[in-house]
Structure 1
Amino acid sequence: MKKFSACTSILVGKKASLDGTIMIGRNEDAKAAWPKKFVVHERGDLGNSFTSKETQFRIPLPTPSFKYTATPEWTDKEGLFEEDGINEFHVAMSATESAYSNDLVLGFDPLVEKGLNEEAMITTVLPFVKTAREGVQRLGDLIAKYGTGETNGVLFADDNEAWYFESGAGHYWVAQRIPDDSYAVVANQLAIQEIDFDDSANFMFHPGIQEFVNKHHLNPNPGTFNFRKIFGTADRSDAIYSTPRVWYGHKMFSKAIATNEHPEDQDLPFIMKADQQLSIFDVQNYLGSHYQGTQFDPIGNGNDQLRHKYRPISLAKTQESHILQMNRPHSNDIHWLAMGVTAESSYVPFFADINDTPATYKRGKLPAQLTSAYWIFKHASVLVDSHLHDFLPLLEDVQKEINSDAITFINKMDLQIDRQKKDWSTELTQHNNAFAEDVLKKYRKLTLELITKMTDYSPLNFNTDENL
């Protein structure tokens, strides 16, 4: 399978959040039944070189590699696709937000068939950097040297700042720091707009990008440098597939601005100010959204044409959704993970300093196995889908209970943290794994309740006398 992650991303600065945390999150969308695992790689696990099974891309690696969390595929036949994680220095990375470059740019800097692609980005970058800026620089240096076969956006954060990185052709790239008081949502388009080449605090870029653009006359608006307009696309498919998801994020968080926007606008701004500070649940709700409250909701009340006009944010092909929450008290950062369809799953908090994950989260294959966290969440999801309007309230009750439990659990762990305690990571891991398993118990219980209710939905049902 050639994997193409048609994802949706969100980044939130620390002054734009309710609790002062930095959040970067993304839905990993590729295939409706394609299991994911959640693992912790210990320091030194990776060796001194890496070879991609997807492209045969090969590079030497620094040693030792740092400890990090990741969500790899159930099989490495087509590559690792580790997608997201937090390393031992509390650097977070999410890769990738797939995008497109225009034909003119690609004519002068074609994509590289055996370059560094999504499949390998987490594995070759996250275990080797100590800050978000270092992550941006390492990824940019690797793409400049080896090239990439894809156009991608990549999210970085640490306990100080968040960055959004975009590759725009075979070798050229830029990155922008998300202002502390702002947020951004991205949906399968190049998103970064005006680049200030004199502002090294907020922009990073390939050192030759200006020369490349000028040499080949690629800038349609000389005097400015709008990366999206120079390197990106703005066609009908963007208007149907990508921009509506950005519009809906603005509608959720910046209502006054969104009233003047349209789902198919091609010039929606990248950096936004929210009407109020955003909580972890606001971010979760965005990644789990599907145009609720509009005529475009695929499970809403609009007519059939409108309900299927735009690609929703949460959809059946989501493999997992993650929010990497940084700048928390004591650097007790959290890797929130929802397996399967975001709208029909629950985000489970995993502290960055755990040294292992539950066995259920390390399992997952085809066909389905109900000892796998991925499949436990998916099982409940497909049962709810069978009678959506009857069963969705039951799922929502479980989701609300888990949300409340998660906050209680996090607060309890925050109060107990003691960095001087030698076995804290072991104790934290035990508590965290127990909480994650308790969430799975709730979903198993929900599944049994749904199966019980479904027994009376058979097409062979018939109203008969109670004595027969």
Structure 2
Amino acid sequence: MKKTVSMLCGCALAAGISISAVFSAYACTGVIVGKDLTEDGSTIFGRTEDLEVNHNKAYKIHEAGEYKAGETIKDVSSDPENGYSYTFTHDSYRYTSVSDTTPEYGNFDEAGFNEKGLIADMTVSATANDKVLAVDPYVDGTDSSVPVGITEAIITTAVLGSCDNARSAVEFIAEEVATKGAAEGNGLVVADHNELWYMEIYTGHQFVAMKYPSDKYSVFPNSFWLNECDLTVGEEKEHFNISKDGMYIYSKDIFKVASEAQTLKGKEDSSSIDLYASYAGELSDSTESRVCSGIKQFNPDATFDGKVYPFLQETKKKITLADAMAFTRNRLESIDKVADDMSRGDLYPIGNRNTMEAHIYHLPSTATAEYPGTMWLALGSPLTSPFVAYYPNQTAGIKEAENEENEFNEDSVYWLAMDMLYMVEYNRDEFQPIVSEKINALESEELQNAVTTMLSAEEATAKNQEE
């Protein structure tokens, strides 16, 4: 991390330019790459967290027992008095996070490891179509007599603090959404050393989670993407079902709600449903530009038929960690367009000015519960911030990564990257190549020295701080 801070300072000083502006966006983009498609047999997944500029994010370590058994946490993001709440059944596990620095508006812990080897990456926001929402609306406080349902602001805190593995995390979320409701639509990923699950929360109480296959890749900006699924009942739990093939965990009324809304594409009697066609809202131009360019990033030969994009994609290319980093910086080069960050139109890129942080998880083929993998994190936009490796068991970050100040200061990775972004935007043609060259050199060195086996806590901490 010291190398990163030095590089950021050096670029900013070399340019000597800083301007400021504020634009907002709603533009997270997720990616998953199965192990059969990677060069080293690893599983890769991650996300760009996009909302707005000048929105600090900080790396945090939450020690075991931060929340005690019987202690209740409350989501204040939508309603401080009537927000979603969760009561811990045991002392919370130790976990890491990449968090907002304004807890009075919600935790937004977003991504991290816990001590059990669980990884959570939450969320990519999405909204269902109006017809299904009329049947099963979001539990968003419109009815003040009912507590607000679960949201992005608190879901990662609850999951990493309480769940043991990916499967238990999916079942936990399923229980919470079924019984307390969801205040919003979301896509999310949970993983461990054995498996990865992708989950979509559609409406107030409807959801589907899929155990991700090893021979596919997926790109998922702000919409729902699961296509045709076989939801033949294998096991019925009190609040959700498990498919016969064990590949899906889903809400009991997933067919019923779509049927009542007259949006159902599929047949309940044959257990088939096209979830995208049944539940998703219309694709925005900015979502379409990102899914197209993201798919093409990993498969230049991909073709698109209308506005239906298969969630599970194939490619002959062997994908690397460096490719995943490049994905977060994609500015429509893969579809021969020139990106426009300043609008939400059809030229909106994955690599945009509103990215507050980007993270990529690398789970090696040798992953274990004790060492599930590495998180590569770029605080601020990866256009001007390099990825640095963070380890599950490190005991601290450096102060520049943990800095929670909400205005510019030189002791912050985020704010240095943000300042550099403004410099680049002053003259992108001149300054972006300078910054990119330095970032590429630093990341190339880091990747050459990357560790895929377990380090001691002391070694992990020292290596992160050095980088």
What is the TM-score with the length of structure 1 in the denominator?
A: 0.83
- Is 1:246 aligned with 2:291? yes
Equivalent-residue separation in structure 2 for 1:83 and 1:104 (angstroms): 30
Q: How many residues align?
A: 414
Equivalent-residue separation in structure 1 for 2:415 and 2:195 (angstroms): 35
Alpha-carbon offset, residue 214 of structure 1: 4.0
* Aligned counterpart in structure 2 of residue 261 of structure 1, from 293, 304, 308: 304
Q: When you count helix as a share of all residues, which structure comes out higher?
A: 1
For 1:51, the equivalent position in structure 2 comes to: 74
Are the aligned partners of 1:12 and 1:178 in contact in 2 as well (CA < 8 Å)? no
For 1:322, the equivalent position in structure 2 comes to: 359
For 2:211, the equivalent position in structure 1 comes to: 177
Cα deviation code 1:89-112 (max 9, x no counterpart):
221111111111011111111100
Equivalent-residue separation in structure 2 for 1:407 and 1:119 (angstroms): 32
**Which blocks of at least 5 consecutive residues in structure 2 are unaligned?**
1-23, 141-147, 233-243
- Is 1:310 aligned with 2:342? no
Are the aligned partners of 2:30 and 2:220 in contact in 1 as well (CA < 8 Å)? yes
For 2:331, the equivalent position in structure 1 comes to: 290
For 1:54-453, list aligned pairs within 5 A. Answer: 54=77, 55=79, 56-113=83-140, 114-198=148-232, 199-214=244-259, 217-222=262-267, 224-234=272-282, 238-256=283-301, 258=302, 260-261=303-304, 265-292=306-333, 294-298=335-339, 309-327=346-364, 329=366, 331=368, 332=371, 333-411=373-451, 414=453, 417=454, 424-435=456-467
Alpha-carbon offset, residue 409 of structure 1: 3.3
Cα deviation code 1:108-149 (max 9, x no counterpart):
111002111010110011222222111111111111111111
Which one is further off, 192-201 or 353-362? Answer: 192-201
For 1:441, the equivalent position in structure 2 comes to: none
SS at match of 1:24: strand
Are the aligned partners of 2:49 and 2:356 in contact in 1 as well (CA < 8 Å)? yes
Equivalent-residue separation in structure 1 for 2:102 and 2:292 (angstroms): 35
SS at match of 2:105: coil
What is the TM-score with the length of structure 2 in the denominator?
A: 0.83
Alpha-carbon offset, residue 188 of structure 1: 0.6
Are the aligned partners of 2:379 and 2:414 in contact in 1 as well (CA < 8 Å)? yes
For 2:19, the equivalent position in structure 1 comes to: none
Distance 1:229 1:123, change over 3 A: same
Are the aligned partners of 1:321 and 1:340 in contact in 2 as well (CA < 8 Å)? yes
Are the aligned partners of 2:340 and 2:348 in contact in 1 as well (CA < 8 Å)? no
Are the aligned partners of 2:293 and 2:334 in contact in 1 as well (CA < 8 Å)? no
SS at match of 2:230: coil
Q: Which one-letter code corresponds to 1:344 in the other structure?
A: T
SS at match of 1:324: strand
Are the aligned partners of 2:132 and 2:257 in contact in 1 as well (CA < 8 Å)? no
Q: Which one-letter code corresponds to 2:405 in the other structure?
A: K
Are the aligned partners of 1:43 and 1:64 in contact in 2 as well (CA < 8 Å)? yes
**Which blocks of at least 5 consecutive residues in structure 1 are unaligned?**
419-423, 436-468
